[in-house]
Structure 1
Amino acid sequence: MKCLIVDQMHEKTDQFFNEIGLEVEYQPDITRSEILDCIGGYEGMVIRSKTPVDKELIEKATKLRFIARAGAGVDNLDVELLEEKNIAIINAPEGNRNALAEQSVGMLLSLLHHIVKADKEVRKGAWHREANRGVELAGKTVGLLGYGYMGQAFAKKLSVFGCNVLAYDKYKVNCTDKYCRQTTLQEVFDESDIFSIHVPLTGETKQMVDKEFIDSFKKNIYLLNTSRGEVLSLAACCEALESGKLLGLALDVLENERLNELTDEQRKNFSYLSTSNKTILTPHVAGWSFESYENISRVLAAKIKAFLTQ
């Protein structure tokens, strides 16, 4: 079975895939037009985010049995059409969940203890102890939006700090475990000191966390987003930071991550966030560690093997 890899992957990917009987063609520099020209000759395809897997591409993939997404999200895939064509969708949230959970903890601690702000000040010769007095994570109530692989991994890390973790996930039933209690969205609004987003980007979740959503929290909160940027309104975040409703904001993702292509409004919001001492911004790397890079390929190989032998 021939499998086309169109994005940069870990050096061991060929080995993992060959071991399960795939004939791999590794073309990380391939263009979209070249993919369209050749995809009809492959039974499998592996992609990160190079190009949308849309109707145009799917219609040309006449032999395709599976498409593997090297990561967790599948928002760049036309899921409905792939399912209609009986093409399996294989992703690997297990591969980078630990990396994402570790960074989420790191970003949260950095917010609570003003680590980034204090570091910048000290480097400039300022020694402001009282202005950088920290807030302890221990005993805080953390509300999670979504309790899939990422939310579960974050909750497990938080348990070490003695946090009370609540999760709202409308698509899960009885997902309470030793790290987290499933609850209503209203209880998340009422009880949370910290709120973290762990849902995929869909038509339902796009701009879900807007001004009205943020204003629904009873307390002033810290907010983290390591899922997809378009789930969260940055305009609403800027307003909430200004009013004090948000005590701090950690973002690994943005509505538009092409920083040289921002609209006027996006540029205004980004300017505010990037100059605020209440924010931490990272370039979509929460699940991107040296370990996860290899592990994603290992997980995909295991899942593809299971699919082919079922």
Structure 2
Amino acid sequence: MNILITDSVDPLLLKLLDSNNLVYECNLSDSENTILKQIHKFQGIIVRNRLKIDSRFLKKAKNLKFIARYGSGMESIDTQSAKELNIKCFNVAEGNSNSVGEHALGMLICLFHNINQSATQLKGFIWEREINRGIELEGKTIGIIGYGNTGSSLSKKIGNFGCRILAYDKYKSGFGKENIEECRIETIYKECDIISLHIPLNTETKYLIDTKFIKKMDKPFYLINTSRGGIVSNTDLINGLKTKKILGACLDVIENENPKFSEINVDKDFKYLLNCKNVIITPHIAGLSNESNKKLSILLVNKILELK
């Protein structure tokens, strides 16, 4: 089996491939057109975000047996076309779920207790206590939308803070246990103080959080998004913040992410969010930890071996 790796991966992945006699080639820089001319040589491909695996790409991949996503999001892969061509697609979302759960909780605590703001003020020799008075998680109701790997990870962690945890998953049931209340989306609208998103980006979830959703919420609420930026409409999020229907937001992902942004070319909505005191934004790092990289590598190689 000959495997193409198109993005940077943890060295452990390469060691595991070697130890299992799996042949691979790393191509981290060639253009998509160049790779298209070579893809027929490979039976497997390991990807992150650099390439878009669409029907055009798949038609050139005459011998491809599997597409492995080193991470979780599958939105850059045309899984339906792959299925029709009998190409298996899989990810290793369970590998970074603990990191995502910790990150989501960490951002929320930072927001509630003004940790970022007060730390920044102190660096400017400003000692302010009263304006940085915090909010406690205890007694709040959090609604987790999507109870997969990351949603369940957050629920386990936040359960020790005295929160009521409601969880809604359109495609899963029977997961309610102990302090996790499985519920309908209407209950989320009615009772939650905090909403945390743990769903993939697809045609069904694009702009799930929009003006319509925000209006359905009975109470002003806080929003956490560690999934994909396109699930939340920036414009509607900003309107929600301006009207105070959204009290604050913790965003590890954002619509129209651009790693090469600068003060000159930054999108106006993104700039507004960056300047909001009640918004914390991190650069899509929730799933990135030293430990998660190792887990991703081990899980991915095990799944490849199961195909043999």
Q: TM-score, normalised by structure 1?
A: 0.95
2:284 corresponds to which residue? 284
> How big is each residue's C-alpha offset from its partner over 1:219-274, in whole Å with a ceiling of 9 and x where there is no partner?
11111100000000111111111111111111111111116579x9x822112111
> How big is each residue's C-alpha offset from its partner over 1:13-43, in whole Å with a ceiling of 9 and x where there is no partner?
1121233331111222232122101110111
Q: Following superposition of structure 1 onto structure 2, how do residues 191-206 of structure 1 map, counting pairs within 5 Å? A: 191-206=191-206
Runs of at least 4 residues off by over 4 Å: 259-262
In structure 2, the CA distance between the partners of 1:36 and 1:179, relative to structure 1 (3 Å rule), is: farther
Give the secondary structure class of the aligned counterpart of 2:96: helix
2:30 corresponds to which residue? 30
In structure 2, what residue type is equivalent to 1:194? I
Say whether the 8 Å CA contact 1:156–1:179 is kept in structure 2: no
2:123 corresponds to which residue? 123
Partner Cα separation in structure 1 for residue 45 and residue 178 of structure 2: 38
Determine if the alignment matches structure 1 residue 249 to structure 2 residue 252: no
Give the secondary structure class of the aligned counterpart of 2:151: helix
Give the secondary structure class of the aligned counterpart of 2:63: coil
Say whether the 8 Å CA contact 1:253–1:282 is kept in structure 2: yes
2:258 corresponds to which residue? 258
In structure 2, the CA distance between the partners of 1:119 and 1:260, relative to structure 1 (3 Å rule), is: same
Partner Cα separation in structure 2 for residue 160 and residue 185 of structure 1: 24
Give the secondary structure class of the aligned counterpart of 1:223: strand
1:141 corresponds to which residue? 141
Partner Cα separation in structure 2 for residue 69 and residue 60 of structure 1: 19
1:41 corresponds to which residue? 41
> How big is each residue's C-alpha offset from its partner over 1:52-76, in whole Å with a ceiling of 9 and x where there is no partner?
0011110011111101000111000
In structure 1, what residue type is equivalent to 2:17? F
Aligned length: 307
1:166 corresponds to which residue? 166
Say whether the 8 Å CA contact 1:138–1:162 is kept in structure 2: yes
Give the secondary structure class of the aligned counterpart of 2:254: coil
| Identity fraction in percent | 37
Say whether the 8 Å CA contact 1:111–1:278 is kept in structure 2: yes
Partner Cα separation in structure 2 for residue 261 and residue 161 of structure 1: 37
> How big is each residue's C-alpha offset from its partner over 1:94-146, in whole Å with a ceiling of 9 and x where there is no partner?
11001111100100000110111111222222222111111111221110111
Give the secondary structure class of the aligned counterpart of 1:12: helix
Partner Cα separation in structure 2 for residue 241 and residue 216 of structure 1: 15
1:307 corresponds to which residue? 307
In structure 1, what residue type is equivalent to 2:210? D
